[in-house]
Amino acid sequence: MKITRYIQSCLLIDPSGEEGSPSKFGKLDAVIYTHEHADHFSPELNEQFVAAGVPVYANASTAGQMKSQPNVVGDGQEFSVGALKIKAIELPHCLLPDGSDGPQNTGYLINGSLFHPGDGKELDGLQVDNMALPITGPDVSMKDCFAFAKQVQAKVVIPIHYDKIGANPETYATFAGRFPQFDYQFKILNVGQSAEL
């Protein structure tokens, strides 16, 4: 599986509009959203995807922000996009700066080997080799993100969700390397950079 990182949390999932027009992504089989926050979802860009005939998948809360009805996915639902088998998994959004709950947040398990949790920071009962790991957020500490990667028993983590707040993924990789219990590899991708998993 080839993964390309765009700004903030956009891998295969969550194009937020700051990446530019849909043409920047090339030919798309689908667009998938974890939740409705502006750094993950743009109503305007979404309408451009729809106009281009690209299927869109989102949870019910995010779908409610769209003019065009997407494919609404629920917790545990499985669907296919091309050769990819995808499972939607609900997990709580991290708390907001005032301590309130975030919106509905849906993570996606892709081909059983890569998990993108949106803005979640913990999930019991999932084991996965590769994880897109939010390393910062309104309620995500370095301790939280390291514990999350350990919780799902990830072997490789791709840091995401740090462009807006300005965390340095290299610093996280250095700190993780100091503790033997964090035995996963950090695979840091710059914007536009790809990796094979």
Backbone angles phi, psi at 144, to 5 degrees: -60, -50
The predicted model scores a pTM of: 0.95
Q: How far apart are CA 35 and CA 56, in angstroms?
A: 13
| Residues 134-191: tens digit of each pLDDT | 999 999 999 999 999 999 999 999 999 999 888 999 999 999 999 999 999 999 999 9
CATH number of this structure's domain 2-190 = 3.60.15.10
Domain parsing of the chain, residue ranges? 2-190
pLDDT band at 106 (very low <50, low <70, confident <90, very high): very high
| Per-residue pLDDT at 25 exceeds 90 | no
pLDDT in tens, 62-77: 999 999 999 999 999 9
C-beta separation of 74 from 57 below 8 A: no
Strands (E), 15-64: 31-32, 56-58
Burial class from Cβ neighbours inside 10 Å (0-12, 13-18, 19+) for residue 27 reads exposed
Beta partners for residue 132, in sequence order: 158
